[in-house]
Chain A
Amino acid sequence: MSAVLLIEDDDRIRLSLAMALEDEGYTAHAVATAEEGLSAQRRHRADTVLIDLMLPGMDGYECIRQMRRDDDVPIVVVSARDDTHDIVAALEAGADDYVVKPVKVKELAARLRALRRRGRAAGLPTAPATSVLTFGDLEVRPEAGEVRLGGEPVAVTRTEFRLLCELADHPGLVLSRQQLLQRVWGHEFGDERVVDVHVGRLRQKIERETGHPRHLVTVRGLGYKLQP
């Protein structure tokens, strides 16, 4: 049974969402503030985190940033705000996915399941542990869960890693944002900004010049591809 940490200041939402998530088979630990959430995650690490953005005291963005410092746990924002500005800011802070309230419990559960999937390692347990996908000075080791740039290991979150693996599995091939949303986030028809922000986050880690990406390039009107 997987554990969910729910950070939500509205008592009624917290209570009802925790109940509904337990019905879906999760153990839910619900707290009301970002501070409580951070210390709860340190004490007893949950498998996924659901967080509201407007919280008393420390806000959701800061909480995501602090949690991201030493934790690659999938973080899903559950917020009533649906401004592009808010969504992009939350994703840039390090969130993996974003849903706007009110979200259907079934859909939320599906998204959590998708994010819980590991990279290729879990899907293909028989694959050789040594497989290396090389793109110039960029190396992706799907089974080992490693990314190296010029030989140096690069720290990426679980979702960033799965996005990179998906692109690395199709070297030189353009994947549309919708394809990536489906394969990495498990969204049937989702918000493409999620992909764009994750690509941006990845570029900051694997590109020497973020403004002129060499490996992870945008193909105008089509999508993204990974190249040497």
Chain B
Amino acid sequence: MRPIGLRARVSAAFALGALILSACISLVSYESVRNTLFAERERTAVRATYYDATVVNAGIAGPAPDVLEVLRSLDTGTDRYVLLHLDGRWHSRSAEPAVDTAVPPEMQEMTAGGEAGAQRIRRDGRPALVVGVPLAGSAVFYEIISLGELERTLQTLALVLTAVAIMVAAAGAALGWYVTRHALRPVTAVAEAARGIAGGDLTTRLDPATEPDLAPLSAAFNDMADELARRQERDRRFAADVSHELRSPLQTLEAAASVLDKRRDQVDERAGAAITLVTAEIARFQALVNDLLELARTDQPAHREQVDVVVLAERVCRSRSLPADLVETAPGTPPTWSVDRRRVEQALGNLIDNAVRYGGGPLAVRIAPGYLEVDDAGPGVAEKDQATIFDRFVRGPASHARGDGDGTGLGLAIVAGHAAAHGGEACVTGRPGGGARFRFTLPGFDK
């Protein structure tokens, strides 16, 4: 399972924290509002009931009072019901059934003892308040006040508070996301700088002053980049020095051999043969030096530019006196590729030279999206040699069989190096119908 990222974790923690906090605040405020409202309502109800009780008490004082008339004279509105318990009978304004069960028995006992009181009950599934006031004699006056409106208000309040809590939690998550983006920005900068260095730009540096908290990281990163740059510069200088030291004497040999070669007719046959040998060996030595230096530099990043690979391949063929129609282009191949022109040219040239030397000449040079292939009709490469043939100074049996030591043993290693510089690889398989098929891939060719 993929671990959850730092940003997601921080955001979740922020959201959870905000949710808990806002839920607590909501609960507390809901409770206190609820209590205050109920207490307020209760006080009002009790006051109203006492007032009504005084009216009723006066109304039933005379002999044979019209109880219904007295109850009807009360201004109760729609949310209050009045009940009168007089001489063991219940009276109400309407002929409501079961009015006697509306008042809970413990309340009846309490008022029968001459005490006034209030109690919350549920009536028809809705909250209500019963207030009982004992009157003169054994009469008791009750009022049932519906609390439905209050409950609706509280429901709305609960709904609003819940919504607020959820919004606060979401805001917390957003804040976490935003804060971590800021917190992680320096790290993103480090990642970008590292990518720059991996891409070959060794001048990339971080400024430790911009992010004091990450100064040690920036400093360590810069040290690493400095060391890399120093090392690469040292390698480059070494290659340059070696090339100078080897190439200078070769130039003398080359020029002197050319002077000798011009005077071949002035020397005897043996000296002439020796001149031929010297000239050939100078050429081989030169090829070897060039290949060694090339190999020493293959780890440098590819210098990509837009290259018409078909034109390039045709040119490589022509420069080796091979027909340009060897080049086959697979359908869907883009006309220009983003590759290192010089290195692709050299890699392809090396494969074709290889085919000429050991494979009886190339049969086809194939260009397909992302890779180049060279087919030959030679003996092919045995399966056990296929993995090692791209190593340095490894020569296949075909090379030993020829015995002329024409190649340097580095050509295929250079092909592999150039492919690797593009992020690709070189490989060899058998060609259907005999011979070898060399291929090197160039990822990122279509960028």
Contacts and interface: CB of A to CB of B under 8 A. Distances in A.
Interface of A: 10, 12-13, 16-17, 19-20, 23, 54, 78, 80-84, 100-106, 176, 178, 188-189, 192, 220-222
Contacts of B236: 83
Interface stretch (B36-44, B240-248, B428-436): B240-248
Interface in B147-191: none
B262 interface: yes
A107 to B, nearest CB: 10
Pick the 10 closest A-B CB pairs, nearest first.
A16-B255, A221-B306, A102-B250, A80-B247, A221-B336, A102-B251, A80-B244, A105-B258, A20-B255, A101-B251
B250 A189 contact: no
Given A83-B236, A189-B319, A106 B244 contact: no
B85 interface: no
Given A13-B248, A81-B244, A23 B254 contact: no
A221 B308 CA distance: 6
Contacts of B248: 10, 13, 80, 101
Interface residues of B, number: 30
Contacts of B254: 102-105
B306 A104 contact: no
B251 A20 contact: no
Given A80-B243, A82-B243, A17 B255 contact: yes
A68 to B, nearest CB: 25
Contact of B240 (A10, A23, A81, A176): A81
B250 to A, nearest CB: 4
B78 interface: no
Given A54-B244, A81-B243, A16 B259 contact: yes
B307 interface: yes
B164 to A, nearest CB: 58
Contacts of B308: 221-222
Contacts of B286: 102
A23 B319 contact: no
B341 interface: yes
B306 A102 contact: no
A220 B308 CA distance: 10
Contacts of A104: 254, 258
Contacts of A78: 251
B258 A23 contact: yes
A84 B239 CA distance: 13
Nearest to B254: A102
Interface string B224-257: 0000000000001000100110011111111110
A84 B258 CA distance: 28
Interface string B13-53: 00000000000000000000000000000000000000000
A64 B96 CA distance: 121
B392 interface: no
B395 interface: no
Given A81-B244, A101-B248, A178-B315, A20 B259 contact: yes
Nearest to A178: B315
Contacts of A17: 251-252, 255
B253 A102 contact: yes
A105 B307 CA distance: 31
A83 B303 CA distance: 13
A221 B341 CA distance: 11
A23 B306 CA distance: 43
Contacts of B247: 80, 100-102
A19 B259 contact: yes
A69 to B, nearest CB: 28
Nearest to A177: B341
Contacts of B259: 16, 19-20, 23
A105 to B, nearest CB: 4
A105 B336 CA distance: 36
Contact of B262 (A12, A16, A23): A23
Nearest to A223: B308
Interface string B271-301: 0000000000010001000000100000000
B306 A220 contact: yes
A12 B258 CA distance: 14
B56 to A, nearest CB: 102
23 contacts: A10-B251, A13-B255, A16-B259, A17-B255, A19-B256, A19-B259, A23-B258, A23-B259, A23-B262, A80-B243, A80-B247, A80-B251, A101-B247, A101-B250, A101-B251, A102-B250, A102-B251, A102-B253, A103-B254, A104-B258, A220-B336, A221-B307, A221-B336
A12 B252 contact: yes
B255 A188 contact: no
Given A13-B248, A220-B306, A221-B308, A106 B341 contact: no
A192 B248 CA distance: 24
A221 B236 CA distance: 29
A105 B254 CA distance: 8
Contacts of B282: 102
Contacts of B335: 221
Given A80-B247, A102-B251, 18 more contacts: A10-B252, A13-B248, A13-B255, A16-B259, A20-B259, A23-B258, A54-B244, A82-B243, A83-B236, A83-B240, A100-B247, A101-B251, A102-B250, A102-B253, A102-B286, A104-B254, A178-B315, A188-B319
Contacts of A103: 251, 254
